[in-house]
A and B are shown apart, each in its own frame.
Chain A
Amino acid sequence: MTELARALEQLRAPDEERYGGKSASLGELIAGGIPVPPGFAVSTAAFEAFLAAGSLRETVAELLAGVDPEDVGAVTDASAAVALAMRRTPVPESVSAEVEAHYAALAAASAKRQPPVAVRSSARGEDSAEATFAGQQETYLWVRGTDGVCEAIRGCWISLYSPEAISYRARMADSGSPPAMGVAVQLMVDAAVSGVMFTCSPLTGDPSVVAINASWGLGLGVVGGEVTPDDFLISKVSREVLRATIADKAVEYVPDPGGRGTHRVAVAEPRRSAACLDAEQLRALVATAAGVERHFGARQDVEWAIARTGSLPENLFVLQSRPVTATAKAGSQAVADRTGLDAMSLVLSTFGVKPQRD
Chain B
Amino acid sequence: MSTTKKSAFPSPLSIATPAGCEGWEEMYPYYALLSEDRREADEQRLWFWNSMHFPEPMPAFDVVAIDGPYYALANWQNRVFAIPPAMGIDYRIVNGYVFITPNAVSDPELIAERAAYFGERAGYYFGHWDELYGRWREKMEKLIAQITALEVPQLETYEEDAVAFEDRDTAFVRVLDSYNLALRMHEQMWQHHFEFLLLGYGAYLTFSDFCKSALPEIPDQHIAQMVSGIDVLLFRPDTELRRLAKLAREAGVDGSFSNGRTPEDIIAELGRSEAGRTWLAALEAVKDPWFNMGSGDGFYHHHRSWLDDPSIPFSAIRGHIDALAEGRDTERPTEHLTAERNRLAQEYGALLDEAARATFNELLGLSRTVFPYVEEHKFFCEYWFQSRFFNKIREFGALLATHGFLRDGEDVFQLSRHEVGEALEELVLTWAHGGPPRGPHHWPPIVERRRALLERLREWTPPPAMGTMPTEAINDPISVMLWGITPERLQSWASAMSGDSTTLSGAAASPGVAEGLARVVRDVHEITDVQPGEILVSTVTSPAWAPIFPKIRAAVTDIGGIMSHAAIVCREYGVPAVVGTGRATAEIRTGQRLRVDGTTGVVTLLDDEEPA
Contacts and interface: CB of A to CB of B under 8 A. Distances in A.
Contacts of A242: 217, 219, 599
A201 B217 contact: yes
A201 B126 CA distance: 35
Contacts of A350: 202, 205-206, 209, 477
Interface in A312-358: 330-331, 334-335, 338-344, 346-354
Given A240-B511, A242-B219, A351 B214 contact: no
A352 B344 contact: no
A241 interface: yes
Contacts of B216: 201, 204, 206, 330-331
Contact of B359 (A201, A346, A354): A346
A331 B214 contact: yes
Given A240-B599, A352-B111, A347 B85 contact: no
A207 interface: yes
Contacts of B358: 339
Interface in B169-218: 199, 202-203, 205-206, 209-210, 212-218
A353 B215 contact: no
Interface in B521-546: none
Contact of B218 (A208, A338, A340): A208
A244 interface: yes
A235 B126 contact: no
Contact of B122 (A209, A233, A330, A351): A351
A340 B359 contact: yes
Nearest to B77: A351
B118 interface: yes
Contact of B118 (A240, A243, A351): A351
Given A208-B215, A331-B214, A353 B348 contact: no
Nearest to A211: B217
A353 B218 contact: no
A347 B366 contact: yes
Contacts of B210: 335, 338, 346
B119, B123, B215, B359: which has the most chain A beta carbons within 10 Å? B215
B349 to A, nearest CB: 10
A47 B521 CA distance: 75
Interface in A284-303: none
A237 interface: yes
A335 B348 contact: no
Contact of A347 (B84, B202, B214, B217): B202
A351 B362 CA distance: 18
B572 to A, nearest CB: 15
Contacts of A334: 213-214
A351 to B, nearest CB: 5
A338 B218 CA distance: 17
A243 B355 CA distance: 29
A152 B378 CA distance: 72
Interface in B348-369: 348, 351, 355-356, 358-359, 362-363, 365-366
Contacts of B348: 208, 237
A332 to B, nearest CB: 9
A208 B126 CA distance: 31
B83 interface: yes
A206 B359 contact: no
B600 interface: yes
B359 A351 contact: no
B167 to A, nearest CB: 52
Contacts of A351: 83-86, 115, 118, 122, 202, 477
Interface string B82-122: 01111000000000000000000000000100110011001
B347 interface: yes
A206 B215 contact: yes
Contacts of A233: 217
A240 B511 CA distance: 8
A348 B123 contact: yes
B214 A335 contact: yes
A347 B115 CA distance: 12
A356 to B, nearest CB: 9
B351 A208 contact: yes
A238 interface: yes
A233, A341, A343, A354: which has the most chain B beta carbons within 10 Å? A343
B222 interface: yes
B562 to A, nearest CB: 14
A241 B576 CA distance: 13
Nearest to A335: B214
A246 to B, nearest CB: 11
Contact of B115 (A201, A204, A335, A354): A354
B209 to A, nearest CB: 7
Nearest to B363: A343
Contacts of B212: 331
A342 B362 contact: yes
Contacts of B215: 206-208, 330
A351 B355 CA distance: 23
Contacts of B219: 235, 238, 240, 242
B84 A353 contact: yes
A338 B210 CA distance: 7
Contacts of A243: 600
B118 A209 contact: no
Contact of A237 (B203, B205, B222, B366): B222
Nearest to B513: A241
A318 to B, nearest CB: 22
B217 A241 contact: no
Contacts of B218: 206, 208, 235
Contacts of A341: 359
A233 B511 CA distance: 14
A243 B126 CA distance: 37
B420 to A, nearest CB: 39
Nearest to B114: A352
Contacts of A201: 216-217
A209, A242, A347: which has the most chain B beta carbons within 10 Å? A347
Interface string A240-260: 111110000000000000000
Contacts of B366: 343-344, 347
A344 B359 contact: no
A243, A331, A335: which has the most chain B beta carbons within 10 Å? A335
B110 to A, nearest CB: 11
Contacts of A348: 115, 118-119, 122-123
Contact of A206 (B84, B217, B344, B356): B217
A294 B380 CA distance: 49
Nearest to B369: A343
A341 B359 CA distance: 7
B85, B126, B359, B365: which has the most chain A beta carbons within 10 Å? B359
A17 B330 CA distance: 63
Contact of A209 (B217, B362, B511): B217
A338 B212 CA distance: 12
A176 to B, nearest CB: 36
Nearest to B370: A347
Given A330-B213, A351-B118, 4 more contacts: A236-B347, A241-B599, A344-B126, A347-B366
14 contacts: A206-B217, A208-B215, A235-B217, A235-B218, A237-B222, A237-B344, A335-B356, A338-B213, A338-B356, A339-B359, A344-B366, A347-B122, A352-B115, A353-B84
Q: Which 7 A-B pairs have the closest CB atoms?
A: A352-B84, A334-B213, A331-B213, A204-B216, A353-B115, A339-B355, A350-B206
Interface of A: 201, 204, 206-209, 233, 235-238, 240-244, 330-331, 334-335, 338-344, 346-354
